[in-house]
Amino acid sequence: MSNKSNNTSPHSSLHYDVVIIGSGAAGLSCALQLADLGSIAVLSKGPLPEGSTLYAQGGIAAVLDGEDSIASHVSDTLIAGADLCDQQVVEFTVSHSREAINWLISNGVKFSRSDDNQYHLTQEGGHSHRRIIHSADSTGHEVQTTLVDAVKNKPSIDLFEQHNAIDILTENDSSANKKPTSHCYGIYVLNKESDEVDVFQSRFVILATGGASKVYLYTSNPDVASGDGIALAWRAGCSVANLEFNQFHPTCLFHPQANNFLITEAIRGEGGLLKRPDGSRFMDEFHPKAELAPRDIVARAIDHEMKRLGTDCMYLDISHREDDFIKEHFPTIYQRCLNLGIDITKEPIPIVPAAHYTCGGVKVDITGKTDVDGLYAVGEVAYTGLHGANRMASNSLLECLVFAKSVSDDIRKRWNQNAVLPEAKPWDSSRVTDSDEEVVVHHNWHELRRLMWNYMGIVRSNKRLERAERRIELLQQEIREYYKNFHITSDLLELRNLVMVAELMVRCAKQRHESRGLHFTLDYPNRDESLDGIPTVITPPKL
Catalytic positions: 295
Q: Which residues pair with 42 in a beta bridge?
A: 20, 159
Q: Which residues pair with 169 in a beta bridge?
A: 186
Dihedral sign from CA coordinates of 187, 542, 384, 243: positive
Nearest-angstrom CA–CA distance, 208 and 289: 34
Q: Cα–chain-centroid distance for residue 81?
A: 16
Which residue, 41, 62, 34, is CA-closest to 123?
62
From residue 149, how far is each of 5, 19, 32, 145, 167 by CA, in Å? 12, 19, 11, 6, 29
Nearest-angstrom CA–CA distance, 338 and 72: 38
Which residue, 176, 192, 178, is CA-closest to 43?
192
DSSP character at residue 183: E
Which residue, 141, 260, 292, 199, is CA-closest to 11?
199
Write the burial class of residue 300 (CB in 10 Å: 0-12 exposed, 13-18 middle, 19+ buried).
Answer: buried
Q: What is the DSSP string of 60-104?
A: EE---STT--HHHHHHHHHHHTTT-S-HHHHHHHHHTHHHHHHHH
Which residue, 355, 356, 351, is CA-closest to 312?
351
Q: Cα–chain-centroid distance for residue 512?
A: 22
Q: Residue 146: enclosing H or E segment and its boundaries? A: helix 139-152
Nearest-angstrom CA–CA distance, 401 and 397: 6
Q: What is the 3-state secondary structure (H, E, C) of 472-505?
A: HHHHHHHHHHHHHHECCCHHHHHHHHHHHHHHHH
Q: What is the 3-state secondary structure (H, E, C) of 376-422?
A: EECCCCEECCCCCCCCCCCHHHHHHHHHHHHHHHHHHHHCCCCCCCC
Q: Is 439 helix (H, G, I), strand (E, B) or coil?
A: helix
Which residue, 163, 159, 139, 145, is CA-closest to 31?
159
DSSP character at residue 542: P
Which residue, 505, 507, 514, 506, is CA-closest to 534?
514
DSSP character at residue 535: -
Q: Is 219 helix (H, G, I), strand (E, B) or coil?
A: strand
